[in-house]
Chains A and B, each alone.
Chain A
Amino acid sequence: MAEDQKKEESVEKEPKKEATTPAINELEELRKKADEYLDGWKRTKADFINYKKDELKRLEEIAKFAGEALIIELLTVLDSFDLALAAFGESDSDKNREKGIYLIKSKLENLLKKYGLGKIVIKVGDRFDPAVHEGIATVEPAGAQEAGKVAEEVEAGYRLHGKLIRPAKVKIFKQ
């Protein structure tokens, strides 16, 4: 008798499967929604914080390159000085005039250096690198090994705080 009772008890003690009522369904829905909204809120907050961090970086960039537009335009003045110097002849009176122009150019260059300007160094025979060179014409090579290399600098290239702002214009040896 005792065993039967036990059996019945254990059968009764089996947990009944919970019936899902509409109320419980709704609760689940709302819980899901609440989670979704909280997640969305956190993401937006995170986006905002990240945006502020990016903004700070952008402001630093702007401060650093604030003068970039002006400096790029001033480069055309430097170019004119370079051309002027190249046009001077060998006579003595020319030498003094040449020096005068050279000093003006120097003054401008040093001023711009203060603001981060750096000239790109070009040597004849350099490998042509479109990252810093712009090819504008080809010339006949002297020997086969010079094909495709830089033959002449026609216009100087410049960097501002390390960033290329104008490539150097070069002539390259024909293939």
Chain B
Amino acid sequence: MAKILGIDLGTTNSAMAIVEAGQPRVLENSEGNRTTPSVVALSKADERLVGLLAKRQSITNPKNTLYSIKRLVGRKFPDAEVQADKKWLPYDIQASAAGGVDVKMGDNWFKPEEISAMVLAKLKADAEARLGEKIDEAIITVPAYFDDSQRQATKDAGEIAGFKVRRIINEPTAAALAYGLDKQKNEKIAVYDFGGGTFDVSVLEVGDNTVEVKATGGDTHLGGDDFDKRIIEYLVAEYKKQEGIDITKDPLAMQRLKEAVERAKHELSTSLETELNIPYISADASGPKHFLIKLTRAKLENLVRDFIDRSIEITNQVIKEAHFKPGEINEIVLVGGQTRMPAIQEAVKKTFGKDPHRDINPDEVVAMGAAIQAGILQGDVKDILLLDVTPLSLGIETLGGVFTRLIEKNTTVPTAKTQVFSTAADNQTSVEIHVLQGERAMAADNKTLARFILDGIPPAPRGIPQVEVTFDIDANGILSVAAKDKTTNKSQSVKIEASTNLSKEEIEKLKNEAAQHAAEDRLKRELIEERNQAESLIYTSEKSLREAGDKVPEDVRKSVNEKIENLKKALGGNDAEAIKSAASELSGELSRIGQYFHQQPDSASASA
């Protein structure tokens, strides 16, 4: 069935995603990148360029490189926004016959949606090449504040590009979809979107399968680029203080500085300080000049504090317009690369009093959400095919009271897993299958779901019988556990209904407990493993001595028995190290017996 493409058509960058086997996946463009600059140009060689290629000649061909077209799409020429942008956009714009905006590229005038269509057409072609199939339908996202005219123009852009536009959805709604927040009931969600050139904040309310935009606001000229500019200004001033040189006069130097600043800004999201080291940044009569200035995270935060404060001010305003209080917001979603900055995450957390969702790549969240919407429309998420996961691990109790997992938590069901176990003692004719659920290392700390016994196992030395244990969870979450003795084919099983009737909170609590006890559980488990191995070793040693009989000289026998006694003593205590060293000593002694096995006793070798 043909796929529907989810597209985030951004002011600076665009991204696309599709749903595959129920999961959204961002598609790379033909250059191998997950985002595509929303730039179109007519090169000096009269070639039409789109995306990264268009961006690469934007400096040398400013008049014919069209970017930020989203600011003009669906607007009327006299709009305050358009008039303000006209002042700094390097390409020509004018009023169209219908009162809209026309933009010039080369010798021709285009409608903004025709330009956006070129970006969309590239995405379409690249997606078709990646997937090896035709894509005729798309979902395109728009800011929540877009009016009818802007939405229609965006839809037109899609159709010009060759898509049937199934839906135009709001960017904050798409972001909420990406995190699955549309499945909640009566929740209030805030989406904080700090991109490269624009800041948008929206408050949504999720009801019965509906997502409603309660209020929206932002600043169309506040973005990560402003952060970069601020940092550059500061560094240029610092450098002038240090070296007495004004590098703004050197465009190449400014280029190098700009790139270094972008890198430094990213680094400061994970480090507390970084160094801008640009050797040979410039030169004058006295020789080459170098640039070396340290930048700390604290300094960066100071430089852009007013930008962050402004975004929070707007956020508070929007919450008020929605008639809510910040504390009433249930979920917060972060969108846009700039939200990677710790200071922004802290400011958002402080405003709402809770942690925002930021697991999904903030540059890709909106495209993922658009893909999920596409998946829903496409029926990729048929109700009967909605699969669950088992929230907690399932397994049995094994020697020493250890919990041995057969099915890991978060495994998609239906599923089945089989493992072969054996007996712990000689001539053990039955095994008890103790079925458990939980995350702790020791069986006693987990929840018992069932117990049953498989008997009739033919007597054999320990470790020899093969008991196949199978855990099977069907699509309804009903767990069946079966144990089968492979020799006799005798089997026993048990069915457990509602093995997952714990609430979300209870499950989280259990997982947290497991994490807290992880270290001590691990030690307990290691101790048990040492014990098991030691007991096994004693068993083997005593058996070997018995079988070797007279072949083993008395002094060797004595030495081995001594080591066995030492190990038995160590097993009386709880020191894993002591057990381990006693065991390796015994192991060493044991290997000496090996040579006696292959010798014939003197009496037998004598011929009759």
Q: Do B43 and A128 touch (CB < 8 A)? A: yes
Q: Do B59 and A136 touch (CB < 8 A)? A: yes
Q: Do B279 and A136 touch (CB < 8 A)? A: no
Nearest B residue to A163 via CB reads B32
Residues of B with C-beta under 8 A to A147: 44
Q: Do B53 and A130 touch (CB < 8 A)? A: yes
Q: Do B44 and A87 touch (CB < 8 A)? A: no
Q: Restricting to A43-63, which residues have a CB under 8 Å from any CB of B?
A: 44, 47, 51
C-alpha gap A172/B61 in the complex (Å): 10
**Among the listed B53, B61, B251, B279, which residue makes an inter-chain contact with A131, where contact means beta carbons less than 8 Å apart?**
B53
Q: Does B252 contact A (CB under 8 A)?
A: yes
C-alpha gap A83/B287 in the complex (Å): 12
**Among the listed B61, B279, B287, which residue makes an inter-chain contact with A135, where contact means beta carbons less than 8 Å apart?**
B61
Q: Does A175 contact B (CB under 8 A)?
A: yes
**Among the listed B44, B54, B252, which residue makes an inter-chain contact with A128, where contact means beta carbons less than 8 Å apart?**
B44
In the assembled complex, the CB of A2 is this many whole angstroms from the nearest CB of chain B, namely 63
Q: Do B251 and A84 touch (CB < 8 A)? A: no
C-alpha gap A172/B57 in the complex (Å): 10
**Among the listed B56, B283, B288, B385, which residue makes an inter-chain contact with A167, where contact means beta carbons less than 8 Å apart?**
B56
Residues of B with C-beta under 8 A to A30: none
Q: Digit string of B242-269 for contact with A (CB within 8 Å is 1, else 0)?
A: 0000000001100100000000000000
Residues of A with C-beta under 8 A to B539: none
Q: Does A125 contact B (CB under 8 A)?
A: no
Q: Do A128 and B288 touch (CB < 8 A)? A: no
Q: Do A137 and B60 touch (CB < 8 A)? A: yes
* Majority DSSP secondary structure for residues of B touching A: mixed
Q: Does A120 contact B (CB under 8 A)?
A: no
Q: Does B84 contact A (CB under 8 A)?
A: no
Q: Do A136 and B60 touch (CB < 8 A)? A: yes
Q: Do B252 and A136 touch (CB < 8 A)? A: yes
Q: Does B280 contact A (CB under 8 A)?
A: yes
Q: Do A135 and B60 touch (CB < 8 A)? A: yes
Q: Restricting to A140-167, which residues have a CB under 8 Å from any CB of B?
A: 147-148, 154, 163-164, 167
C-alpha gap A84/B277 in the complex (Å): 14
Q: Do B49 and A137 touch (CB < 8 A)? A: no
Q: Does B45 contact A (CB under 8 A)?
A: yes
In the assembled complex, the CB of A4 is this many whole angstroms from the nearest CB of chain B, namely 60
**Among the listed A80, A135, A175, which residue makes an inter-chain contact with B280, where contact means beta carbons less than 8 Å apart?**
A80
Q: Do A133 and B45 touch (CB < 8 A)? A: no
**Among the listed B53, B60, B279, B283, which residue makes an inter-chain contact with A172, where contact means beta carbons less than 8 Å apart?**
B60
Q: Does B21 contact A (CB under 8 A)?
A: yes
Nearest A residue to B51 via CB reads A130
Q: Do A137 and B279 touch (CB < 8 A)? A: no
Residues of A with C-beta under 8 A to B54: 130
C-alpha gap A130/B59 in the complex (Å): 12
Q: Which of A40, A135, A164, A175 has the most CB of B within 10 A?
A: A135
Residues of B with C-beta under 8 A to A80: 279-280
In the assembled complex, the CB of B39 is this many whole angstroms from the nearest CB of chain A, namely 11
Nearest A residue to B259 via CB reads A76
C-alpha gap A163/B28 in the complex (Å): 14
Q: How many residues of B contact A (CB 8 A)?
A: 24
In the assembled complex, the CB of A95 is this many whole angstroms from the nearest CB of chain B, namely 17
Residues of A with C-beta under 8 A to B288: 83-84, 87
C-alpha gap A39/B115 in the complex (Å): 43
C-alpha gap A25/B45 in the complex (Å): 68
Q: Do B279 and A84 touch (CB < 8 A)? A: yes
Residues of B with C-beta under 8 A to A40: 385
- Given A87-B280, A87-B283, A163-B32, the answer on whether A130 and B56 have CB atoms closer than 8 Å is yes
Q: Restricting to B1-52, which residues have a CB under 8 Å from any CB of A?
A: 20-21, 31-32, 43-45, 49
Residues of A with C-beta under 8 A to B43: 128, 130
**Among the listed B31, B53, B57, B287, which residue makes an inter-chain contact with A87, where contact means beta carbons less than 8 Å apart?**
B287
Q: Do B44 and A175 touch (CB < 8 A)? A: yes
C-alpha gap A175/B63 in the complex (Å): 12
Q: Restricting to A2-32, which residues have a CB under 8 Å from any CB of B?
A: none
Nearest B residue to A132 via CB reads B56
Nearest A residue to B280 via CB reads A83
In the assembled complex, the CB of B291 is this many whole angstroms from the nearest CB of chain A, namely 11
**Among the listed B31, B45, B385, which residue makes an inter-chain contact with A148, where contact means beta carbons less than 8 Å apart?**
B45
Q: Does A119 contact B (CB under 8 A)?
A: no
Q: Do A47 and B280 touch (CB < 8 A)? A: no
C-alpha gap A172/B43 in the complex (Å): 12
In the assembled complex, the CB of A42 is this many whole angstroms from the nearest CB of chain B, namely 14
Residues of A with C-beta under 8 A to B61: 135
Nearest B residue to A85 via CB reads B280
In the assembled complex, the CB of B60 is this many whole angstroms from the nearest CB of chain A, namely 3
Q: Which of B44, B53, B54, B59 has the most CB of A within 10 A?
A: B44
C-alpha gap A56/B198 in the complex (Å): 39
**Among the listed A47, A86, A138, A164, which residue makes an inter-chain contact with B60, where contact means beta carbons less than 8 Å apart?**
A138
Residues of A with C-beta under 8 A to B45: 127-128, 148
C-alpha gap A151/B11 in the complex (Å): 32
In the assembled complex, the CB of B513 is this many whole angstroms from the nearest CB of chain A, namely 35
Q: Do A135 and B283 touch (CB < 8 A)? A: no
C-alpha gap A86/B45 in the complex (Å): 32
**Among the listed A47, A86, A133, which residue makes an inter-chain contact with B21, where contact means beta carbons less than 8 Å apart?**
A47
Nearest B residue to A83 via CB reads B280
C-alpha gap A172/B255 in the complex (Å): 16
Residues of A with C-beta under 8 A to B280: 80, 83-84, 86-87
Q: List 22 A-B contacts (CB under 8 A).
A: A51-B21, A83-B288, A84-B280, A87-B283, A128-B57, A133-B56, A133-B57, A134-B56, A135-B56, A135-B57, A135-B60, A135-B61, A136-B60, A136-B251, A136-B252, A137-B59, A137-B252, A138-B60, A147-B44, A148-B45, A154-B252, A175-B44
Given contacts A47-B20, A87-B287, A130-B54, 6 further A-B contacts (CB under 8 A): A83-B280, A83-B288, A128-B57, A133-B56, A137-B59, A137-B60
